[in-house]
Amino acid sequence: MVLNDKDQTIINVTWHGRGGQGAVTAAMILAEAAYIDGYRGVTAAPFFGVERRGAPITATTRFSRTPIRTLTPTAKAEVVVVLDERLMQVVDVLGGLKADGLLILNSSNPPEKFCADRDIAVATSDANSIAEEIGLVVAGTVLINTSLLGAFSKASGLVSMESLEKAIRKNFNPKAAQLNFRGAQLTYEATRTNRVWHLPVRQN
């Protein structure tokens, strides 16, 4: 989606993951990519509960075509990204999603399997399998955070893959960047949606 420079819509993205999955890193890279893509108001922030590996954590990305003057956390997001679909059993991820929002899940299941009782857009992509297949594994941990940036680009249309590539390359060495962006590309291609989602334009 292309927003004009006078549009004051603030796009809120909430990331749900577990400690060690890289949700905070993904939130920061998305913020950087959004800036490269032309958004002039950009923020990213982590919110930790129990700070230990495997514990649920939340991070946010916020961006707008115009400078963001409100820095307080938002209760509801336009897009929610879940790095581990099992978190939906222990965390109220839908409670933080607007009624006309987009839910993006790291899952091998089709989007139609989720939230059939809610009128929201759902996108799924099996980032785990893709990351394992291309060797995005460090010390036995499958790295899926950057791969899900591809799912975000495909399902939302808010940030281009070109800008994501530049942001990824700024945050990794050349070899790691190539592998991480490959994961994002393949996840982009594998992303399935239950409907086409369009960002509702709101004046904030």
Cα distances (Å, whole numbers) of residue 115 to 61, 97, 162, 188, 199: 23, 12, 31, 22, 19
Residue 53: strand pairing partners: none
Q: What backbone phi and psi angles, to 5 degrees, belong to 79?
A: -135, 135
pLDDT at 139: 84
Whole-angstrom Cα Rg for the chain: 16
pLDDT band at 69 (very low <50, low <70, confident <90, very high): confident
Core vs surface per residue 104-123: b (16+ CB within 10 A) or e: bbbbeeebeebbeeeebbbb
Return the number of other C-beta atoms located less than 10 Å from residue 138's C-beta: 9
Q: Is the pLDDT of residue 1 over 70?
A: no
pTM of the model: 0.91
pLDDT band at 68 (very low <50, low <70, confident <90, very high): confident
| Structural fold of domain 10-193 | Pyruvate-ferredoxin Oxidoreductase; domain 3 (3.40.920)
